[in-house]
């Protein structure tokens, strides 16, 4: 119970520190967040319908909002009418590539995937591309009456940060989370497993526990750095998860980085390490839960794990595995740590 009490105190003190520093930032330079107001979402899903130049009565048009609603309900087949090279660069997640200008080459392969009783949404390269219009008309003539045109197409979908994917490696900014962290964690956990097998009781070795504290605490301090200095960008990442309303976005963007920093620092210096580790373990469980929900919903975003930079996309499944690895290190510390300085308050 004492560890839980101290963990709560750590969270509260770090939260107060984060709010205080944010207030100072606002007073000095306006660089903080308005913690008591709603996050402003400038990327609302548009309900406006774009009209193609060649529109004819009978063409069934959808707005971005219409298309996304059908997407989230899994009630439609999305067809990308662009060339394969454009499709490979990025497309609506789960969409079928059916280049309209190569109809004869693709139709035999595409036809078995279509269902006349299901909505079919054709899209292409946006307002300068009418291939989706021609695609939907052709499909209607062939007996697919629920063929629709999302004329805003890939540009509008991408701009709104809707679920998407590519058919080739991302050409985005990368961060430490994508390379170094998984390698270090995998190697370290493997070493611990080997040591546990070879020498009984090795997991309680003080040197090994210190290394665990150093790795986990260092990772959390590093993770907090970019978020502390870029709170607005971090708030945008929290928004992209679409797990909380706009009124609940700024507060975690202000306090979470400081909880990460304080808990990581306490874990390294060895003051209340089990309580600090409890905070870190709780945060990791929360992060795993958030990432799992987001991955299940097919939202392709930056996880905000170690960077708030624009353009950083994350393999969310790999990030979940990464967090599970850190959680194992956290459990190692919590279970096997034995304080040597109880009389001095280090426990």
Per the model's pLDDT, the better-predicted residue between 265 and 175 turns out to be 265
Which of 55-69, 84-98, 300-314, 322-336 has the least mean pLDDT? 300-314
Domain architecture of the chain: domains with CATH: 64-165 (3.40.250.10), 172-336 (no CATH)
DSSP 46: P
Distance CA 120, CA 332 (A): 51
Per-residue confidence band for 342, with pLDDT thresholds at 50, 70 and 90: very low
DSSP string spanning 190-207?
HHHHHHHHHSTTGGG-HH
Q: Are strands 164-165 and 91-92 parallel, antiparallel or unpaired?
A: antiparallel
pLDDT digits (tens, 9 = 90+) for 114-149: 999 999 999 999 888 999 999 999 999 999 999 999
Of the candidates 137, 142, 134, the residue with the CA atom closest to the CA atom of residue 116 = 142
Q: Are strands 96-97 and 147-149 parallel, antiparallel or unpaired?
A: unpaired
pTM of the model: 0.63
């Amino acid at each position: 119970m004492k560890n839980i009490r101290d963990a709560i105190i750590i969270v509260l003190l770090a939260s107060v520190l984060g709010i205080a520093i944010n207030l100072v930032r606002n007073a000095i330079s306006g660089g903080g967040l308005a913690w008591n107001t709603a996050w402003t979402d400038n990327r609302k899903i548009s309900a406006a319908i774009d009209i193609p130049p060649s529109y004819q009565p009978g063409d069934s048009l959808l707005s971005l909002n219409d298309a996304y609603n059908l997407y989230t309900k899994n009630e439609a087949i999305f067809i990308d009418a662009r060339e394969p090279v454009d499709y490979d660069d990025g497309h609506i997640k789960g969409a079928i590539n059916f280049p309209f200008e190569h109809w004869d080459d693709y139709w035999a392969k595409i036809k078995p995937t279509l269902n006349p009783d299901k909505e079919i949404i054709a899209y292409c390269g946006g307002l300068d591309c009418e291939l989706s219009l021609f695609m939907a008309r052709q499909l209607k003539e062939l007996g697919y009456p629920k063929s629709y045109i999302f004329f805003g197409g890939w540009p509008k979908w991408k701009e709104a940060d809707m679920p998407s994917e590519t058919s080739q490696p991302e050409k985005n900014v990368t961060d430490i989370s994508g390379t170094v962290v998984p390698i270090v964690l995998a190697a370290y956990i493997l070493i611990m497993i080997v040591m546990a097998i070879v020498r009984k009781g090795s997991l309680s070795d003080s040197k090994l526990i210190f290394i665990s504290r150093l790795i986990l605490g260092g990772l959390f301090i590093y993770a907090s750095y970019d978020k502390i200095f870029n709170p607005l960008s971090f708030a945008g990442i929290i928004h992209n998860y679409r797990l909380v309303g706009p009124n609940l976005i700024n507060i975690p963007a202000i306090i979470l980085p400081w909880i990460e920093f304080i808990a990581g620092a306490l874990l390294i210096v060895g003051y209340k390490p089990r309580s600090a580790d409890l905070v870190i373990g709780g945060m990791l469980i929360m992060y795993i839960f958030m990432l799992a929900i987001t991955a299940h919903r097919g939202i392709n975003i930056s996880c905000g794990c170690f960077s708030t930079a624009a353009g950083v996309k994350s393999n969310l499944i790999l990030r979940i595995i990464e967090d599970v690895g850190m959680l194992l290190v956290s459990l190692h510390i919590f279970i096997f740590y034995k304080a040597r300085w109880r009389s001095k308050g280090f426990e």
